[in-house]
């Protein structure tokens, strides 16, 4: 079996206390020390009235502070940046990080921040088609001497991107989004890995695998070329043993939320629970797990998972 990889999702909005970059930097350095494969930043310009940092600028700073851990975007909003410029930015980050970029991109979902920043927010089919064109331009700029492209939404004329990314043929591309008619078709065409966010059941996950495989057949892509990824629950709350599990659930679950609904989006788990859940998905060929620890910026859950799960499985 291929080595199982674990990426830690570190959304800016989870860091509520202290200096935002200091707490964030410390969490990333701890993830690197603990041996996680990657950390992933979200891409928002605003999130309610909370103080958040811009994704690419922060990744650039982190690339100079880290040496081993891979740096990912979960996921870039395509509408925020011109794709040719984004290709240049990504190539630069891959160079300065010595080949550690994980390039995740999606069509965008938050209408309010687009409107607030004066950025167009078309209907879903148009946003997804824009993302497809953007990925096509980006791949060309990473691999070709000059890129000329004439699409419905974007064009380039002899665009040069030098230096090229360190990773060959290019940094791995993760397509974010689980829409079965349009987004999964783009994933079938262009993704090295997909990301569907939290899928609440194994049965639904299997269904989406079948849909993706059918899209791969339709476009002539080998389905097995795409790395299978899964989120381990929505938010993860680690407890050391079964004795503390019920107590933790009692602390976290709002009184007006049923236990069933709470468990759909929150994974309160012991290390043994995590290992069992991971094995359910590795039996389907999943090799990449995304982790969102609900107690951030506290990193005690990050530490317990690394010691009791990551080290055991790898």
d(CA 54, CA 146): 29
> Residue 296 maps to which CATH number?
3.20.20.30
Pairing state of beta strands 173-176 and 101-106? Answer: parallel
Domain that holds residue 124: 5-313
Pairing state of beta strands 70-73 and 38-41? Answer: parallel
Residues 6+ apart with CB under 8 A from 170: 139, 142, 143
Global pTM value = 0.95
User: In the 8-state DSSP scheme, what is residue 228?
Assistant: P
**What's the number of domains the chain is made of?**
1
Helices (H), the chain: 20-34, 55-65, 83-96, 111-116, 124-143, 183-190, 202-219, 242-252, 259-265, 271-282, 300-305, 311-313
Residue 35 tokens, joined: 């041996």
In the prediction, which pLDDT does 2 show? 75
pLDDT tens for the chain, 314 residues long, are: 578 999 999 999 898 766 779 999 999 999 999 999 999 999 999 988 888 999 999 999 999 999 999 999 999 999 999 999 999 999 999 999 999 999 999 999 999 999 999 999 999 999 999 999 999 999 999 999 999 999 999 999 999 999 999 999 999 999 999 999 999 999 999 999 999 999 999 999 999 999 999 999 999 999 999 999 999 988 999 999 888 888 888 888 888 888 888 888 899 999 999 999 999 999 999 999 999 999 999 999 999 999 999 998 87
């Amino acid at each position: 079996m291929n080595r199982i990889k674990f990426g830690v999702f570190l959304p800016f909005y989870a860091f509520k206390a202290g200096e935002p970059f200091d707490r964030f930097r410390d969490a990333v350095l701890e993830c690197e020390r603990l041996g996680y494969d990657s950390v992933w930043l979200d891409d928002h310009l605003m999130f309610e009235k909370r103080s958040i940092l811009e994704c690419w600028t922060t990744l650039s700073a982190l690339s100079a502070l880290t040496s081993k851990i891979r740096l990912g975007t979960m996921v870039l909003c395509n509408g925020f940046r011109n794709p040719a410029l984004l290709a240049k930015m990504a190539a630069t980050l891959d160079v300065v990080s010595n080949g550690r970029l994980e390039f995740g991109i999606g069509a965008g979902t938050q209408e309010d921040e687009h409107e607030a920043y004066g950025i167009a927010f078309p209907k879903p089919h148009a946003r997804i088609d824009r993302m497809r064109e953007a990925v096509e331009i980006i791949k060309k700029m990473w691999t070709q001497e000059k890129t000329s492209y004439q699409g419905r939404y974007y064009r380039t004329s002899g665009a040069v991107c030098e230096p090229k990314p360190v990773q060959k043929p290019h940094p791995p591309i993760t397509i974010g989004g689980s829409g079965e008619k349009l987004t999964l078709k783009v994933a079938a065409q262009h993704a090295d890995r997909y990301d569907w966010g939290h899928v609440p059941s194994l049965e639904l996950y299997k269904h989406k695998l079948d849909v993706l495989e059918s899209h791969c057949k339709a476009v002539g892509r080998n389905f097995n070329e795409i790395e299978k990824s899964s989120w381990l629950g929505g938010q993860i709350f680690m407890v050391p043993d079964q004795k503390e599990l019920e107590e933790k659930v009692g602390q976290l679950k709002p009184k007006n939320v049923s236990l069933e609904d709470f468990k759909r989006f929150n994974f309160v788990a012991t290390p043994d629970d995590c290992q069992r859940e991971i094995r359910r998905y590795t039996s389907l060929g999943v090799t990449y797990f995304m982790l969102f620890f609900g107690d951030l910026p506290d990193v005690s859950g990050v530490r317990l998972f690394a010691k009791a799960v990551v080290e055991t499985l790898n």
